[in-house]
Homo-oligomer: A and B are copies of this chain.
Amino acid sequence: MKTLLLKKKDVSALITPDMVISAVEESYMAYSRGDTIQPPIVSVALPERNGEMDVKAGYSKTTSMISVKCASGFYDNRKTGTFPNSMSTLLLFDGTTGFPLCMMDAGTVTGWRTGAAGAVSARLLARKNAKTAAIIGTGDQARMQLLALTSVAEIESVFLWGRSRDQMLLYLEEMCDKVKCKITPADTPQSAVMNADIVITATPASEILIKRDWIRPGTHIIAVGADMEGKQELDSLLFKEAKIVVDHLEQCSLRGELQNPLRQGVIRREDIHCEIGQILLGKKNGRETDDEITIFDMTGMAIQDNVTALKIYESALDLELGTYYDFME
């Protein structure tokens, strides 16, 4: 039996917003049902090379698939012009035999499933009539979040803020063709968020970017950036009165935006509303009033890669894309 190899362009041809949004919803539900195994993330940290390699393994009891994703970040690559800073390879194994069914370039998978996570949260937690969004950050995730969000919400106007004027221009140039809404650069984070129904923070910041008083009642905030100890984008005071929803409670408490208000004692664990999977399963409510501020804190889970990769693999089989290779011959 042969292993299916999928290159970046195959994955790009197969992946769709709807596919990834339903994969993320299924993942969140599976996790909250207890139908997943997600061992601790393994990291090889190479600070002397400004690099790292993270290995995320996951298993879905629903589909019996094991996934192992090796994602690297070597942050001097782009400067030296050799490779992208981030590269990612995913192996999908049949969890009934251990056979490697598929190996794929997974850069696209991580970007899309993280973007889709924000969109899923917006569907459950943003006001139904949300029309404006603020994007804080100008990197890949700031792009993916907007692409996914506009596939689930009728966003008319976007305010963009980033530290670098040049990066903001690049973002505008690239994204104006990809989404129908108007994108306006903002001079400050405050002017970006003050009229937004949905605020997305997707920066590598480790200091407060968004202050409590700038956020109007009824806003939904999607906290993407914080994914390791020491990161912060939001004023901890925002958590005090907000409805807080997480993807993975333990992980968000340690590495997500939640680490800050918890450590500072602004909130306690009991103040967290629920995991997003519990809302999808109908066990907890999403947004209940037009006035509440909601925050979705996400850190990403292996099961999102797992379920997304399976859908890509199945679609590749249907459409006969990819190359077969017999490793065991």
List A residues at the B interface (Cβ < 8 Å): 1, 5-9, 37, 39-40, 42-46, 49, 51, 53, 55, 57-59, 64, 66, 68, 70, 72-74, 77, 82-84, 86-87, 89, 91, 93, 95-100, 103-105, 107, 323, 325-329
B55, B58, B327: the one contacting A57 at CB < 8 Å is B55
- Minimum CB distance partner of A87 in chain B: B98
Q: Interface on chain A toward B: helix, strand, loop, or mixed SS?
A: strand
A300 to chain B, nearest CB (A): 16
CB distance from A46 to the nearest CB of B (A): 6
Report yes or no: A87 in contact with B99, Cβ–Cβ below 8 A.
yes
Q: CA A32 – CA B40 in complex, angstroms?
A: 26
Q: Determine which residue in A43, A57, A84, A327 has the highest number of CB atoms from chain B within 10 A of its CB, and name it.
A: A327
- Assess the B97–A77 pair: CB atoms within 8 A: yes
Query: Residue on B with the closest CB to A39?
Result: B42
Inter-chain contact B37/A40, CB cutoff 8 Å: no
| B residues in contact with A40, CB < 8 Å | 40, 42
For the complex, what is the distance from the CA of A107 to the CA of B91, rounded to whole Å?
16
A53 touches B66 (CB 8 A): yes
The one of B8, B49, B68, B86 that contacts A329, using a Cβ cutoff of 8 Å: B8
